[in-house]
Amino acid sequence: MTAVPPPRKRGGRSDPFSSTLLAAVSALVFATPALAEPPGIPVHAAHNPILSDGQYYSTDPAPIVVGDTLYILTGRDEAAPDVNDFIMNEWQVLATKNVESGDWIHYRHFLRPEQVFKWAEPGRAYAGQIIQGPDKRFYLYAPVLEANSENEDGFAIGVAVSDSPLGPWTDAHPSGPIVSQSVPEANKIQNIDPTPFVDDDGRVYLYWGTFGQLRAMELNADMVSPKEAETKITGLTGFFEAAWLFKRKGTYYLAYAANNAGPDSACTQAVYHACIAYGTAPSPLGPWTYRGVILPPVSSTTSHPGIVEFKGRWYITYHTADAKGGGHFRRSVAIDEVHWDDTKTPAAMLRVVPTPVAPSVTGPQRNIAPAARRMASNWPVPVQYGIAALNDGIVRDNPLPPDMWGSWSPNNPAQQWVQYQWPKPVTLNGARIRFWTDHPAGSGEGVAVPKAWHLEAWTGKTWQPIEASYGTSPDAFNAVTFKPVTTRCLRAVFDASTDGKTFAAVAVREWETLAPKPVKVTIAQGHVPASPGCVAN
């Protein structure tokens, strides 16, 4: 399997908007004479994500509070369902006066890079952030691609200024970006994900970076020119990208997307995913102390925090793949509350409990796999894969490795299995399995459909093969029916594809197990513990 990271080419029910209440909210938010402000549309978020109907995807949230309004600057994912790339042409804004109300104003088509930065290419409107400067004007820090850049990586950070968080924006540094691989000094990193910060004393700081590289520098009060040289920031365990700097009660906090993957990682099991972790420091430039994980991996491979206090409560904004038609490159902004442990010094951020996006009990359905916990012969599953994908009900058009269980290794064995275990015996008379492949059937390398596969039911003492006709299509679900069996554990055993010398790996995107009649299913959490399981002595 080609276990490459996701391409970073760089280069409830959504209620109708029609109620009079929403119109009134809209009128309040728009109660401003600034003609150049973009028009906003009222939307109601009954749950996360805020925009959930799949019309507009929103990503990389950056909240800012201005007066009685919370604004969230977001990117916009426009990738087609089968495109694994960040197609991001413009920024959007979401605004609310009351998070709990679920009433937001959506400023679509807020700004495009080329509208404000003459030196920028269209597209790649990545994660930006708006802050208020010491002069009370608003500054937008935006990673964009520099046109005609001679740098190896063309990403650069521009700054635009406005008298309102809703614009209009003008370039605050028209001669070009304030950070790139060649300004203010040479670097070799990808210069994206800026997080600016103005301290209580009016001093200005900027952090940025990705792929494990975090840089910081102090800026002058003009918000654009460097006061000090770039510093490499260390101490933030697993730092990957998406830094977010803020201050609370005299302590500096930096939240970020972390990726220190492994079966025992407190952050993420799959290399492709990220958790949100944080560190604290006594000064804006560190030294930083890692403090732990605040948000587990979300459904999109990337995760991106924005944290803010609004009307006495703290919130984290982040993105997920949970909207209708969502995906790793079709992400949508969610918001949840952050709670603090003020008995600790410095105060600790508690783990965020994300608002559940789906009910924990399904409506009646024949597929009872979601009620099972999972195990595999290659446990712990290699860090690029996600065993939870087996029974999550999601089959993506263009999956990445965490969207499947897989068995690829440098020496693939002749046989592999995956297993479901239910809390109580269940009766089954069918199953459907959807493979993923990157090599044709009969290959002895890569990932191919198995030469053969079959199901086995646990009798309480041993594994009993189930007679059925087992298909091996690489392109569709392979459905089997069989005489009803009652069991607590079911195993799918795969005889690997082979060229006679070596074996290919197997990958499964979804494995459904069918009860004779539809039933309500309580969704299980976690994998099967090694013991007690359904293990033959």
- Complex with ligand FUB: residue 295 or 455, whichever CB lies closer: 295
DSSP run (H or E) holding 29: helix 20-29
Judged by CB under 6 A, the chain residues 184 through 223 that form the site for ligand FUB are 192-193
361-391 per-residue burial string, b: 16 or more CB within 10 A, e: under 16: ebeebbbbbbbbbbbbbbeebbbbbbbbbbb
- Complex with ligand FUB: residue 308 or 521, whichever CB lies closer: 308
Binding test (CB under 6 A) with ligand FUB, winner from 37, 114, 146, 241: 241
CB of 251 to ligand FUB, least distance (A): 24
- Cβ-contact 99, 65 below 8 angstroms: no
C-alpha torsion 134→138→139→140, nearest 10: 150
- Complex with ligand FUB: residue 142 or 447, whichever CB lies closer: 142
- Cβ-contact 181, 195 below 8 angstroms: no
**C-alpha atoms less than 13 angstroms from C-alpha of 210 in its C-beta half-sphere:** 21
For position 127 contacting ligand FUB by CB under 6 A, the verdict is yes
- Cβ-contact 437, 474 below 8 angstroms: yes
> At 411, which amino acid appears?
N
- Complex with ligand FUB: residue 192 or 428, whichever CB lies closer: 192
Judged by CB under 6 A, the chain residues 360 through 379 that form the site for ligand FUB are none
Number of residues that bind ligand FUB (CB under 6 A): 12
Hey, is 109 helix, strand or coil? strand
- Complex with ligand FUB: residue 14 or 302, whichever CB lies closer: 302
CB of 124 to ligand FUB, least distance (A): 8
Q: Annotate each residue in 33-72 with x if it binds ligand FUB (CB under 6 A) or - if it does not, as one string.
A: --------------------------xx------------
For position 435 contacting ligand FUB by CB under 6 A, the verdict is no
Hey, is 374 helix, strand or coil? strand
Judged by CB under 6 A, the chain residues 290 through 349 that form the site for ligand FUB are 302, 304
- Complex with ligand FUB: residue 273 or 374, whichever CB lies closer: 273
Hey, is 263 helix, strand or coil? coil
Binding test (CB under 6 A) with ligand FUB, winner from 56, 57, 71, 86: 86
End-to-end CA distance of the chain: 33
- Complex with ligand FUB: residue 321 or 389, whichever CB lies closer: 321
Hey, is 530 helix, strand or coil? coil
Binding test (CB under 6 A) with ligand FUB, winner from 42, 75, 297, 370: 75
CB of 492 to ligand FUB, least distance (A): 34
CB of 78 to ligand FUB, least distance (A): 12
Strand order of the β-sheet with 129-132 is 129-132, 138-145, 155-162, 170-171
- Complex with ligand FUB: residue 300 or 367, whichever CB lies closer: 300
For position 512 contacting ligand FUB by CB under 6 A, the verdict is no
Instruction: Select from 367, 511, 480, 497 the least CA-distant residue to 444.
Output: 497
- As a whole number of angstroms, the longest Cα–Cα distance in the chain is 77
- Complex with ligand FUB: residue 45 or 144, whichever CB lies closer: 144
Binding site for ligand FUB (CB under 6 A): 59-60, 75, 86, 126-127, 192-193, 241-242, 302, 304
